Amino acid sequence: MSTNLLSFKNITKNYSGNTVLKNVNIDIRSGEIHALVGENGAGKSTLMNILFGMPVIHSTGGFEGVMELDGKAVDIKSPFQAMDMGVGMVHQEFMLIPGFTVTENIKINREITRDTGLNKVTKKIFGSRIQTLDRPAMSADAVKALETMEIGIEEFTVVKGMPVGHMQFVEIAREIDKTNIRLLVLDEPTAVLTESEAETLIHAMRNLAKKGISIIFISHRLDEITAASDRVTVLRDGELIITKDTKDTNVIELAELMVGRGVSIDRVIADRAGSGDVILTIKDLHVAMPGERVSGVDLEVRKGEILGIGGLAGQGKLGIANGLIGLYQAKGEVVFDGKPLPLGNARNALSSGIAYVSEDRKGVGLLLEEPIELNIAFTSMQIHNKFLQSIGPFRFYHAQSIRANARQMIEDLDIRCTSALQPVGRLSGGNQQKVCVARALTQKPRLLFVSEPTRGIDIGAKKLILDLLLKLADQGMTIVMTSSELAELRSICDRIAIICEGKVAGILKPDAPAADFGLMMSGAADLVKEETTFPHVIPPDSFAVGADFGNLGTEGGAE
């Protein structure tokens, strides 16, 4: 149990000057379940990409440091090489062929073929590719792999139509069927599983570990990590924070380590209590956004506040704004400014005074080949009929007012460009973001949704954008900001809603302890102390930044 199967030694990786892993040292022992914990961007995926020799690593200049397998340095150049060395991966997305049976999926590209009779002849002529399959032998192998996990899936079932949990097991079975398998990486395997399926999976992992197979277990659910793993490693911002025996730690400590207690909050709390009126009420919102599914969010937004929406990737935080605006199919009850807001078409939301800055700047946010001025004026023109001149029954592009508005915005937001006619595709990320914000501001919205406003832009531009949002809030605009960067949310928001598994896990004060944020993100909201949270639905006349809601209790977590 104590020998090291795999060691990462002083692993450092840069992506074009941006260090994503710094001197990371991790030992994976034989037959242990080693959990890897960290926020998005902590470096977990990069580490796994290095382990599998993914092309993305080698095409960006490789990495520094050494990987040792059985104490010998190895140089893994491709995923195939990793497979030959007995390292297997179960992917988050299912890589199964729906029309094939379980057996066929498990044995795909490693089929057992017959070598008798006619096959001997055809093999000589055409090679082994056209030999017939030895189905009984294949089935036997599949059954053996499935039995290792002690789950009752029949090997002759067709994958299509199976419960997603079972598909996950089939994927794992495919990995353990590889005869030389010694290390298995499970990346968020429980994300799609029900609670009982997750338990079965953890049981299966334990069985595999007993047989000497090491497992690297990546999950955001800290309770599962403590239940399943032998040791746990916490990564944060590319650095190894700690490796501990799981029995010596607990969920709260892990949450704190993951988020980081040393986050300096550079925060000027303004008194933005506003009138305290509710401007937006969301009840039981469901949004079918792939990868960011929202399943039953209740939330209230108060006039004049900055409400942050945080949470780990894939938990549904991005789906809320997208669903409200109408980019993805949504259902639920939304009341904006006293009037019900019909979902499903952006026109409803935009014309009622809501503006939206998308997280997908290049895909949704901009017309990259069109000039800055058109990008800024576009929504106001189409929705509010501004910047148009009428000739008879027709309305035409009014160049002067569009140009004047663009010039004003370029000056106000300090957009760095050669002229208002420059195509936005040529601008830097930060300036593109400013164009998106400029378009939203041109609509003169009463409620502004911004999603990931600082994604992919440099630090200087980040600060400019955040300052701009603060300034807008001071001028009385209500802002709902969705972000993956907790520090950013904590620096400007008045309240922060944490989304976990498609629901609001709880609403925290920006100065709440780091551990509370970590716990809520990891589905352990019930461990958060009450005095650091706000209730989801605000009782009248009780809203003020820093007010004490201790006696109101939380409604987060296990609904």
Partner 1 sequence: MDTVEKSTFSLKSLVSRINVPTLIVLVFWIFIMILGVINNVSLTSMITDSIGRFGALGILSLAMVPSIQSGTGPNFALPIGMVCGLLGMVCAIQFGFTSWGWLIISILLSVVFACIIGYGYGILMNAVKGSEMTIATYTGWAFVWLFSMLWVILPFTDLRLRLPLGQGLRQDIQLAGINARNILTNSLSFDINGIFIPTGMILFFFLCCFLVWMFMRSKKGIAITAGGTNPMFAGAAGLHVNRNRIYAGMLSMVLGAVGTVIYAQHFGFIQLYLFPMMFAFIAVAAVMIGGATVRRANITHVIVGVLIFQGLSANMAPVANAMFPGTDIPEALRTIVQNGIILYALMHAKGGGGK
- The answer to whether residues 46 and 20 touch, using CB atoms and an 8 Å cutoff, is yes
Among 498, 538, 535, 537, which Cα is nearest to 514's?
A: 498
- Residue 410 beta carbon to partner 1: minimum distance, rounded to whole angstroms: 20
The Cα 435–Cα 362 span in angstroms is 12
Give the angle subtended at the CA of 386 by the CAs of 383 and 392, to the nearest 5°.
Answer: 100
- Residue 386 beta carbon to partner 1: minimum distance, rounded to whole angstroms: 10
Burial class (CB in 10 A: 0-12, 13-18, 19+), 310: buried
Question: How many CB atoms within 10 Å of residue 493?
Answer: 27
The first and second tokens of residue 366, run together, are 């901009």
Of 122 and 382, nearer to partner 1 (C-beta) is 382
- Residue 493 beta carbon to partner 1: minimum distance, rounded to whole angstroms: 24
88, 365, 371, 510: residue in contact with partner 1 (rule CB under 8 A): 365
What 3-state class would DSSP assign to 216? Answer: strand
**E strands, 288-381, in order:** 294-302, 306-310, 330-336, 339-340, 354-357
Q: Binding of partner 1 at residue 290 (CB under 8 A)?
A: no
- Residue 420 beta carbon to partner 1: minimum distance, rounded to whole angstroms: 16
Among the candidate windows 92-100, 383-391, 463-471, 524-532, which touches partner 1 by CB under 8 A? 383-391
200, 379, 431, 451: residue in contact with partner 1 (rule CB under 8 A): 379
- Judged by CB under 8 A, the number of residues near partner 1 is 34
The residues in 127-166 that bind partner 1, with binding defined as CB under 8 A, are none
130, 164, 269, 367: residue in contact with partner 1 (rule CB under 8 A): 367
The Cα 25–Cα 31 span in angstroms is 19
Of 436 and 468, nearer to partner 1 (C-beta) is 436
Tell me which DSSP letter residue 132 carries. P
Q: Binding of partner 1 at residue 6 (CB under 8 A)?
A: no
The Cα 445–Cα 427 span in angstroms is 25
- Residue 308 beta carbon to partner 1: minimum distance, rounded to whole angstroms: 22
Of 211 and 347, nearer to partner 1 (C-beta) is 347
Of 120 and 347, nearer to partner 1 (C-beta) is 347
What residue type is 323 in one-letter code? G
- The answer to whether residues 467 and 459 touch, using CB atoms and an 8 Å cutoff, is no
291, 329, 397, 458: residue in contact with partner 1 (rule CB under 8 A): 397
75, 195, 248, 369: residue in contact with partner 1 (rule CB under 8 A): 369
- Residue 436 beta carbon to partner 1: minimum distance, rounded to whole angstroms: 10
- Residue 485 beta carbon to partner 1: minimum distance, rounded to whole angstroms: 23
Question: How many CB atoms within 10 Å of residue 328?
Answer: 19
92, 382, 401, 422: residue in contact with partner 1 (rule CB under 8 A): 382
Largest CA distance in the chain: 87
The first and second tokens of residue 516, run together, are 């509370």
Tell me which DSSP letter residue 41 carries. T
- The answer to whether residues 10 and 66 touch, using CB atoms and an 8 Å cutoff, is yes
366, 479, 481, 498: residue in contact with partner 1 (rule CB under 8 A): 366
The Cα 66–Cα 399 span in angstroms is 60
Per the listing, tokens 């601008």 go with 427
Of 210 and 347, nearer to partner 1 (C-beta) is 347
Of 235 and 321, nearer to partner 1 (C-beta) is 321
- Residue 68 beta carbon to partner 1: minimum distance, rounded to whole angstroms: 44
Task: State CA 548 to chain mean position distance.
Answer: 32
What residue type is 394 in one-letter code? F
The secondary element (H helix, E strand) that includes residue 135 is helix 135-148
116, 396, 411, 459: residue in contact with partner 1 (rule CB under 8 A): 396
- Residue 440 beta carbon to partner 1: minimum distance, rounded to whole angstroms: 11
13 forms beta bridges with 21
- Residue 367 beta carbon to partner 1: minimum distance, rounded to whole angstroms: 6
Of 56 and 367, nearer to partner 1 (C-beta) is 367
The residues in 418-477 that bind partner 1, with binding defined as CB under 8 A, are 425
- Residue 369 beta carbon to partner 1: minimum distance, rounded to whole angstroms: 6
Contact code string over 318-357 relative to partner 1, x by CB under 8 A: -------xxx-----------------xxxxxxx----x-
Contact code string over 485-524 relative to partner 1, x by CB under 8 A: ----------------------------------------
Q: Binding of partner 1 at residue 370 (CB under 8 A)?
A: yes
What 3-state class would DSSP assign to 278? Answer: strand
Of 450 and 493, nearer to partner 1 (C-beta) is 450
The Cα 334–Cα 306 span in angstroms is 19
Tell me which DSSP letter residue 537 carries. S
Among 441, 444, 442, which Cα is nearest to 465's?
A: 441
Q: Which residues bind partner 1 (CB under 8 A)?
A: 325-327, 345-351, 356, 358, 360, 363-370, 374, 378-379, 381-383, 385, 388, 394-397, 425
